[in-house]
Amino acid sequence: MSICRLSVVPRIGKPNVAICFLMLLLALTPAAVAVKTTYYDSPRLPTALVPFHYELHLLTRLENTHPIPFSFEGAVNISFFVHKSTDVVVLHANEFSIKLAKTQLQEWYTLQRLAILEFNFNRKLDYLIMKADSYLKQGKYYSLTIEFGRPMSENKRGGYFLAHSTDSLSHQKSWYSLTHFEPQSMRYTMPCFDEPALKATFNVTLGHHKRFQSFSNMKVTAVLAHKALKDYVWSVHETTPLMPNYLLAFSINNLTCTFSQTGGPSPVLFRTCAKSSDLRLTTFAAQMAPVFLEYFEELLQMELPLSKIDQLAVENYPTDAMENWGLVVYSSDLILQTDEPGGPEPSRPRLQALQVICHEMAHMWFGNLISVAWWSDFWLKEGLTGYFEVLGIEHLYPRLGRRILAKYRVMSLMHETESGGIVISSMDIQSNASKTYVYQKATSVLHMAEGMVGHTTFHNAIHRYLYQYAFASSTTNQFLSSIQEGCDRANSLPEFADIKTIMDTWILQSGYPVLNVRRNASLVLTQNHFSFNESRRERWWIPLTYTTQSEQNFSDTRPKAFFPANSLMFNLNVFVPENDWIIFNVQAMGYYRVNYDERNWDLIAEALSRDHQSIHVLNRAQIVGDALFLWNTKRISWSTALNVLKYLVDEDEFEPLMALVVGVTNGFWGVSPESSMNIAKWLSNAGKWYAEFINYTFDQLVFVENNVESAPSEED
């Protein structure tokens, strides 16, 4: 959509992109399906109406004492464009009450009113369906005003809910309110077009007791007295940028804040807020968030259309964090830091906090500025965010980003075998079961794409992608086209290597391949599907990278060939001297495992024992992980695996040791007593470093998630 390319706009301030976006959207949506009856039960909204602005007035009562305790009431005035004439208006609304008689539908310019003849509800799909007395005309703008309200509780499903903190001395509860709309909870708070591609601007005005403050995506521009309610005020917030509705957020609270900001001529102001007794603990997040934001602004060469970002640390939040534009919410136990900084590397809780903060800051671009067209593209927003999260951490602590990436890869490869495979493109949005692994696989697969097209090409392509789709939404295919375009410009892939064809095998399929390497006159490669379900026969386009003993070039991550998904066997004409090893998947950038013939395993084992530094640390991690996996799935013998693994007593780097622990604790710990004993005996030889390692570098998550109660015993 070249019309929407924001070609040379270094600062995206408040461009008039609403209309541009509208055209983009219309161009993308298939011909509108006419709504035939007043009972609508398609899973997606009709495409006839396209919202572009919400005017929200919402009063929240946060008191038990009031005659009407804990409740909200308000009105929303939604402006929309009519893409196709219709007399039926369908939008999302459920689980609150509506004053039907007060509903107003009118044309924008003439202010001509349309009467609503019928209201219907589809409770299953959360639709409010209204039939008007005449047609809403194609090409015109209309507004719909609905008054609504309901009591509030701590039930988070409602989207807008109550939360509390308890004073440690007086045990008094202090109440506040908060939203969490992703993916589809806004519809339980107010009427809306609850689909992520239907981006709009929002004017939010919140009514509350003057003892509280009002928070929303944008800053407060005015506080006006409430005419009818004593001691109540209206806080008027600035208009938001064009954004997906699920990123709308607001909170009425009594938290206290630490202030910070980014540098430069147009700083972004940060407030990091928690209950007053935790104020001191907010300084870490207050300091770090602007650092990451500045880094991303610099790296992406694009400023945000925000002048402030608030960060709330709240208790019992339904998820780790939520990236609402301008109002990020975190679980307080994740970002409130009690320990003192010390040493060159952050402690485990600090690193975890850094990751979450960095992740949410990256979302300000990926997910917020560019959004998902639909939830099936969720992986793309989380994958890109994960990818930049790693860069942000690496920027602060060189090598820690690499560790996180290695961990993501190992964990999601492992999880493929347990959960029946991870299909990153079609996450069931309502289920949260394997969400973490979707994030991790998505990040790993994008990392592979980077290795495949080269760092510079990848970054240039992402940069162009950002400019092209800023304030709009993009599909996976549009993202892949941007990468393809980048490759074409830089000539970085052979003609036959089509990005979409290659990447689709990784995005749309679950599981991953095991590449089998057999040495003969040439190299004979085959691939096996690996997933939970062994009867599946999908294959992948595998970018082949390798190096040999004589080359030992572990810096070249660009593919030397591709194993095509449509062939069973692939001959690679490389001559490898009889006594030289060959290692595939340089720096383990590819999301696959590798098995070799006996001879090559022996050569690798020998090289590792002689001088393990001669093999790149990330390849050592892959070798360790693969050897354990291949043994566990009976693809190699125990003696072969042990032969390779025995070098580990000399290993002192994180990634291979992590691969060992993940492989051991998950692969067969507790499965067969004999194998466990073998491993335990062997591990006890390496007891010294193992205990240290478990104690302090290894992420506790691995243990918690796999129900391994304690580290393996040191005794026989």
Task: Provide the H-helix boundaries in 420-498.
Answer: 435-453, 455-469, 476-490
Q: Which stretch binds Zn ion (CB under 5 A): 229-237, 285-293, 379-387, 669-677?
A: 379-387
Helix (H) or strand (E) holding 409: helix 400-419
Residue nearest to ligand NAG (CB): 520
For residues 551 to 590, the per-residue mask of contacts with ligand NAG, x marking binding by CB under 6 A and - elsewhere, is --x-xx----------------------------------
Which residue in the list 73, 182, 303, 360 is annotated as catalytic?
Answer: 360
Distance CA 355, CA 289 (A): 11
614 binds ligand NAG (CB under 6 A): no
C-beta closer to Zn ion: residue 307 or 319: 319
Interacting residues with ligand NAG between 158 and 187 (CB under 6 A)? 174
The distance from CA 109 to its chain's CA centroid, rounded to whole angstroms, is 41
For residue 420, the minimal CB distance to ligand NAG (Å) is 7
Residue 147 in marked binding region = no
For residues 91 to 130, the per-residue mask of contacts with ligand NAG, x marking binding by CB under 6 A and - elsewhere, is -------------x---x----------------------
For residue 553, the minimal CB distance to ligand NAG (Å) is 4
Q: Which stretch binds ligand NAG (CB under 6 A): 371-379, 426-434, 606-614, 636-644?
A: 426-434
The distance from CA 135 to its chain's CA centroid, rounded to whole angstroms, is 41
C-beta closer to Zn ion: residue 382 or 651: 382
Distance CA 623, CA 612 (A): 11
Distance CA 143, CA 200 (A): 13
C-alpha angle 50-53-55 in degrees, rounded to nearest 5: 135
432 binds, options ligand NAG, Zn ion, none, Cβ within 5 to 8 A by partner type: ligand NAG
DSSP-derived secondary structure letter, 192? B
Which value, to the nearest 10 degrees, does the dihedral of the CA atoms of residues 173, 176, 177, 182 take? -80
For residue 88, the minimal CB distance to ligand NAG (Å) is 20
For residue 385, the minimal CB distance to Zn ion (Å) is 5
For residues 363 to 402, the per-residue mask of contacts with ligand NAG, x marking binding by CB under 6 A and - elsewhere, is ----------------------------------------
Distance CA 712, CA 196 (A): 47
Q: Which two tokens stand for residue 17?
A: 């992109």
C-beta closer to ligand NAG: residue 467 or 546: 546
Note if the bond before 183 is cis, omega within 30 degrees: yes
Q: Which stretch binds ligand NAG (CB under 6 A): 387-395, 632-640, 689-697, 701-709?
A: 689-697
For residue 209, the minimal CB distance to ligand NAG (Å) is 7
Residues facing 308 on adjacent strands: 269
**What is the pairing mode between strands 49-61 and 201-209?**
parallel
609 binds, options Zn ion, ligand NAG, none, Cβ within 5 to 8 A by partner type: none
Residue 95 in marked binding region = no
For residue 33, the minimal CB distance to ligand NAG (Å) is 27
The distance from CA 464 to its chain's CA centroid, rounded to whole angstroms, is 21
Determine the size of the site formed for Zn ion (CB under 5 A): 2
684 binds ligand NAG (CB under 6 A): no
Distance CA 42, CA 36 (A): 12
Q: Which two tokens stand for residue 193?
A: 């077009």
533 binds ligand NAG (CB under 6 A): yes
For residue 386, the minimal CB distance to Zn ion (Å) is 7
C-beta closer to ligand NAG: residue 101 or 521: 521
Determine the size of the site formed for ligand NAG (CB under 6 A): 33
For residues 286 to 305, the per-residue mask of contacts with Zn ion, x marking binding by CB under 5 A and - elsewhere, is --------------------
Place of tokens 């970018």: 543
432 binds ligand NAG (CB under 6 A): yes
The question of whether 360 is a catalytic residue gets the answer yes
- Single out the residue of 525, 530, 501, 526 nearest to residue 513, CA to CA: 530
- Single out the residue of 714, 652, 650, 710 nearest to residue 687, CA to CA: 714
Distance CA 70, CA 90 (A): 29
Query: At CB < 8 A and 24+ separation, what contacts does 380-386 make?
Result: 380/442, 380/474, 380/476, 380/479, 382/438, 382/439, 382/442, 382/443, 383/424, 383/439, 383/442, 383/443, 383/445, 383/446, 384/446, 384/462, 385/359, 386/359, 386/439, 386/440, 386/442, 386/443, 386/446
53 binds ligand NAG (CB under 6 A): yes
Amino acid at the residue 296: F
Q: Which stretch binds ligand NAG (CB under 6 A): 191-199, 360-368, 495-503, 520-528?
A: 520-528
| Active centre residues (catalytic) | 360
Chain residues in the site for ligand NAG (CB under 6 A) = 53, 55, 77, 79, 104, 108, 143, 145, 174, 203, 211, 238-239, 254, 276, 430-433, 518, 520-521, 524, 533, 535-536, 553, 555-556, 691-692, 695-696
Residues making up the annotated binding site for Zn(2+) are 359, 363, 382
Q: Which residues are at the interface with Zn ion (CB under 5 A)?
A: 382, 385
